[in-house]
Structure 1
Amino acid sequence: MTDTHSHAPRVTGLGGVFYVVKDPAATRAWYRDTLGIDGPYGPQLAWAEEPLAHPYSLISHFADDTYIKPGTGSFMINLRVNDCDGMVAGLRAKGVEILGTADEGYGKFAWLLDPDGVKVELWEQVEDALP
């Protein structure tokens, strides 16, 4: 039997993103209908289906809001996806405006705005480009 308390306490992952919006029900519906994210308490992600051997989440800090623009918040939500190109094609088919895409070598990215002006970044991690 393994002693689960033998390791020092540590942060193990992102628990969630919490922010204020004008119409929570409409925002939850947008995440459900546009990105397919749903759960009993609103948009909910489970990493059990993650195929990568070493998936990671990132907390990034910026000196200004250039990367967040044209989002109107002081933060951006980064969502992991398993097929960025396919996700972008599906979103465009739904009439969602994609602000841009990029392939940075360590992953593919796409950007869009949620109905409250929060910038959402979609990220497909590349397995062999681990930090």
Structure 2
Amino acid sequence: MKKVTGIGGIFFKCKDPNKMREWYKEHLGINSTQYGATFEWFEGDDSTKKGQTQWNPFPETTKYFQPSTKDFMINYRVDNLEALVEELKKSGVTIVDAIESYDYGKFVHILDAEGNKIQLWEPKD
């Protein structure tokens, strides 16, 4: 089973998300909203299939990354989230929450070996 197919997003804590968005816009040309910026690309395995990667600064006081104490969270794109979660459970990986479905895909959070919160995303491309 193919597991991770790419990076779906990079999220990090900062003192002032609006100031960070302005800095990145001015210096690196990243135009973002309160929901971040979306980078679109085409998959290497199928160059007709479009994908996206999300970038977003969060307030340093956010609870969204808990139970991790780290200042970042990476979102990985996956092919079959439900099957992968079952494999991870069998391997003793900590599953933080239940799979949630939205019109743009399914999500779940896990912890890696050092307690970093990881978001897994099966997109509806």
**TM-score normalised by structure 2 residue count:** 0.58
Q: Which aligned segments of 4 or more residues in structure 1 are displaced greater than 3 angstroms?
A: 49-52
Deviations 1:65-92 (A, max 9, x none): 2111111101101111011111101101
- Contact preservation (8 Å) 1:68, 1:76: yes
Contact 1:65 1:74 in 2 (8 A): no
Amino acid aligned to 2:69:
T
Q: Secondary structure at the match of 1:92?
A: helix
**Residues 76 and 120 in structure 2, CA contact (< 8 A), matched pair in contact too:** yes
How many equivalent residue pairs?
Answer: 84
Q: Distance in 2 between matches of 1:98 and 1:75?
A: 18
SS in 2 for 1:58: strand
Flag the 1:94–1:49 CA change in 2: closer, same or farther, 3 A: farther
Alpha-carbon distance in structure 1 between the residues aligned to 2:48 and 2:89: 26
Match among 118, 121, 125 for residue 120 of structure 1? 118
1:80 paired residue number:
77
* Larger relative contact order (Cα-Cα within 8 Å, sequence gap ≥ 6): 2
Matches within 5 A, 1:1-131: 48-49=44-45, 53-63=49-59, 64-100=61-97, 101-127=99-125
Instruction: Give percent identity, aligned residues only.
Output: 31
Gaps of 5+ in 2: 1-6, 11-42
Distance 1:74 1:106, change over 3 A: same
2:46 and 2:77 map into 1 onto residues whose CA distance is 9
The structure where strand makes up a greater share of residues is 2
CA gap of 1:68–1:54, structure 2 versus 1, over 3 A, is same
Distance of 2:49 and 2:124 partners within structure 1 = 11
